[in-house]
Amino acid sequence: MLAMAAAGAGLALVSAVAQPAGAGRPVKIVALGDSLTAGLGLPADAAFPARLERALAQKGIAAEVVNAGVSGDTTADGLSRVDWSVPDDTDAVILELGANDALRGLDPAQVRANLDAILKRLTARKLPVLLAGMRAPPNLGADYAKAFDAIYPDLAGAHGALLYPFFLDGVAAERSLNQGDGLHPTAAGVDVIVERMLPLVEELVGRARAR
């Protein structure tokens, strides 16, 4: 009996060691962003993090998607709060910042430096990241757009992050998918974003579970 009990305890220990960290609980994804993440003008259950969490659940993926979006935030603001906005029990991060920098015509070199610093902090913590890209408004000219738009693919490649090239893909400039300001998606617009981004988020979850 003692031998059987010892063998059983040994098997239980091996199983516990082999089980990935965080198994048995939902994967915690922090969505760090601005008003596009926060869901400005929408009820809380229609914001991007809530809709994404629901879409993952419909796929049978247990995940908690935390809304760490702050309306008006620039990349500098995100950098200033990244350490406390992404708590220790985080498993993965969706990083969506830069729209306000572009709207204000801020120097792309500084935007790049801020996002690079955020990514360095997250990768130092061994957190998988999905970087959501942004595009410069056309009124800022071709030179600005060239410098700004290149930031996201360059940094994703440098840090090994997943890249969703344009957060508003399929939604930008679509009147029926945007609120009256023409900048923030309606609930239907958020659903389009979630649907298009979902395969990459599933890959992000896979990376989180493999940590």
Active site residues per annotation? 35, 181, 184
Cβ atoms of 28 and 53 within 8 Å: the answer is no
**Residue of 88, 69, 67 lying closest to 77 (CA atoms):** 69
- Going 8 to 12 to 18 to 23, the CA torsion angle's sign is positive
User: Counting beta carbons within 10 angstroms of the beta carbon of residue 33, is it exposed (0 to 12), middle (13 to 18) or buried (19 or more)?
Assistant: buried
DSSP 24-84: TS-EEEEEEESHHHHTTTS-GGGSHHHHHHHHHHHTT--EEEEEEE-TT--HHHHHHHHHH
